[in-house]
Amino acid sequence: MPPRTVLIAGAGIAGPTLAHWLTRHGMTATVVERAPALRSGGQTVDLRGAGLTVIRRMGLEAAARNAATQEAGIRFVDDQNRTKAALPADAFGGKGPVADLEILRPELSSLLYEHTRHDTEYLFDDEVTALTDDSDKAHVVLKNRGERSFDLVIAADGIRSRTRDLVFSDTRTRGFGLCTAYFTIPHRPSDGRWARWYNAPGHRSVTLRPDNLGTTRATLS
Ligand SMILES: Cc1cc2nc3c(=O)[nH]c(=O)nc-3n(C[C@H](O)[C@H](O)[C@H](O)COP(=O)(O)OP(=O)(O)OC[C@H]3O[C@@H](n4cnc5c(N)ncnc54)[C@H](O)[C@@H]3O)c2cc1C
């Protein structure tokens, strides 16, 4: 029997991870990614719990630690930058607000892609525009590459997945009234290796997190 073929939509974190495990279990994985190349956006992801177990079982823990942001922990500061409380990265057994293994989303994505690209077919700059299931195969139409058929299609194309919308109706996301702007600013030596969090009056907050690329990841909420 030929290996089962699986199409995964999305080459972020979940997509390449699935490709690894499905290939390991004898399947042939194809990943279709809407962007023309791996997306370089995203902030810090904490690898803990199940995520850490998965990365360990993939043999990628050392590589993830090499690419980690190396934050010392998090300090809650006042409007004069005075520390009110400090939680080091090893607080709560490394499972505190800043975990002992924090990695930028694009660094993690790239690690997973490099680990899987030799035995996974990656189709960049494409997406599924139609999907039908005849109970034997799933037939998809790829926007730029036409029709293909797979044994299984998995939507791993993020929170606003269009692939999921092709299968399920009423998948709207619901807002909770919290708005956060994420951006990257230069890192100054005086910023140090601690993340900082300032809660201002009026439900506002600012966070600054040093990364491993010489910049600081900032949020305004
Ligand atoms: C701004 C931001 C900050 C975050 N901060 C944190 C944090 O501090 N800590 C933490 O733990 N987690 C954080 N996260 C969450 C973490 O990044 C996500 O949980 C993680 O990236 C989800 O992985 P994913 O593979 O499901 O989706 P994604 O990483 O979003 O990847 C989805 C991929 O699918 C592609 N795609 C989209 N539509 C299609 C389509 N129709 N067809 C094909 N491909 C498609 C996208 O281009 C993308 O490459 C943050 C996320 C964001 C966006």
Q: Domain residues of the chain, as ranges? A: 5-60+106-167, 70-101+177-220
Question: Quick one: pLDDT at residue 55?
Answer: 96
At residue 19 the predicted structure's pLDDT band, cuts being 50, 70 and 90, is very high
Question: Quick one: pLDDT at residue 172?
Answer: 81
Distance 218 CA to ligand 1 centre (A): 18
pTM of the model as a whole? 0.92
Residue 122, pLDDT > 90, answer: yes
Distance 110 CA to ligand 1 centre (A): 13
Average pLDDT over residues 14-35: 98
Q: What is the mean pLDDT of the chain?
A: 95
Nearest ligand 1 atom, CA 161: 38
User: Token pair of 147, please?
Assistant: 């029709």
Question: Quick one: pLDDT at residue 23?
Answer: 97
User: Token pair of 194, please?
Assistant: 């601690």
Distance 85 CA to ligand 1 centre (A): 31
Residue 217 pairs with which residues in a beta bridge?
184, 209
CATH number of 5-60+106-167: 3.50.50.60
Q: Distance between CA 75 and CA 53 in Å, rounded?
A: 28
The answer to whether the beta carbons of residues 62 and 55 sit under 8 Å apart is no
Average pLDDT over residues 102-114: 96
Distance 39 CA to ligand 1 centre (A): 9
Residues with CB under 6 A from ligand 1: 9-15, 32-35, 39, 42-46, 105, 127, 156-158, 162-163, 182
Residue 57, pLDDT > 90, answer: yes
